[in-house]
Amino acid sequence: MPRPSFAYLNFLYMQQTISSISLENIIAPPLYSEKSVKAKSIKANSVEKFIRWCGQQEKNRLLWLGIAIMGHIGMVLPLTLLAILFFAGNNFVLWIVVLCANTPVLALNLAAQPPKVTIPVLFTSLVVDAAIIILAIVTFIL
């Protein structure tokens, strides 16, 4: 009777190893904690929902790129800078804040980052721009 080849024995051994349960589950079995579905839905706050929504926007990547560059950098940023120039007395500190808030939007879009990274930065920058415009108008009125 011929002896089986090394490759055939190795194949059988690998087949058995792959099909058997992993050694990690034998040494440290996974711990399961019972969590109710209601508790999990309560914990899903609006930030988690927003990040999940941002992850689903991959199919609209070019739309978000256009909104960020043309809508934000091309329209909102100049309006914010004009508000600083005319309403806030050309305050240099506000210029620095606006430029620091808007540079990541441009840099992340030029680096072709996914929308789940760029959209939160875009909205954060929009909030900063809106706050600066409001601050500039309040400064002008007072």
Question: What does the pLDDT look like over 70-116, one tens digit per residue?
Answer: 999 999 999 999 999 999 999 999 999 999 999 999 999 999 999 99
Query: What are the residue ranges spanned by the domains of the chain?
Result: 44-141
pLDDT attached to residue 99: 95
**Tokens 């589950």 sit on residue:** 25
Kindly tell me if the per-residue pLDDT of 6 is higher than 90: no
For the chain, the C-alpha Rg in angstroms (whole number) is 28
3-state secondary structure the chain: CCCCCHHHHHHHHHHHHHHCCCHHHHHCCCCCCCCCHHHHHHHCCHHHHHHHHHHHHHHHHHHHHHHHHHHHHHHHHHHHHHHHHHHCCCCHHHHHHHHHHHHHHHHHHHCCCCHHHHHHHHHHHHHHHHHHHHHHHHHHHC
Residues 6 or more apart whose Cβ sits within 8 Å of residue 129: 76, 77, 79, 80, 98, 101, 102
* Chain mean pLDDT for the chain: 83
